[in-house]
Amino acid sequence: MSVARTWRTRRQRYSLVGERCEYCHNAIFPPRDVCPHCAEPAQKEYTMSGRGTVYSYTTVFDPPAGFEAYAPYPVALVKLDEGPMVTAQLTDLDPDDVRIGMPVEMVTRKLSEQGDEGVITYSYKFRERLERQAVAA
């Protein structure tokens, strides 16, 4: 992504800032200004907790340009506790351990690097929820 585009979406990538619709009260992520549920204007900021569960997952072996250095890497659709779903990489886990329904939480990790001189992009990734690991142990 371009520097400007990375900068523009920084609050989403670093802290999952979305919106909550004032008309139908649905949480929205990423922010989109018109509520996808009721089509009313949606501009009230709302920050997601970063907690959710795995809706589905896979592994990218054949990455698009820019991600070659990281392949293979696991990706998932994560259903946030507040309702919205996000597409993100999974991290800090063995891909073989991922299961649908697994509780996960958002962390900030390096997403990509554009060469030695280029911008380094950080974004949300999701790891298995730590408290659950503690309980399991």
- Burial category of 92 from C-beta neighbours within 10 Å (exposed 0-12, middle 13-18, buried 19 and up): exposed
110 alpha carbon, distance to own chain's centre: 13
User: Which CB atom, from 100 or from 120, has the smaller least distance to another protein?
Assistant: 100
Rule CB under 8 A: say whether 90 interacts with another protein.
no
| Identified binder of another protein from the candidate list 16, 20, 57, 102, rule CB under 8 A | 57
CB of 46 to another protein, least distance (A): 16
Helix (H, G, I), strand (E, B) or coil at 8: helix
Q: Nearest Cα to 44, choosing from 22, 29, 17?
A: 22
CB of 40 to Zn ion, least distance (A): 5
Q: How far apart are CA 135 and CA 137, in angstroms?
A: 5
Stretch that binds another protein, among 19-27, 39-47, 81-89, 127-135 (CB under 8 A): 81-89
Which residues, 6+ apart, have CB-to-CB distance to 5 below 8 Å? none
Stretch that binds Zn ion, among 37-45, 53-61, 81-89, 103-111 (CB under 5 A): 37-45
Rule CB under 8 A: say whether 104 interacts with another protein.
no
Binding site for Zn ion (CB under 5 A): 21, 23-24, 35, 37-38
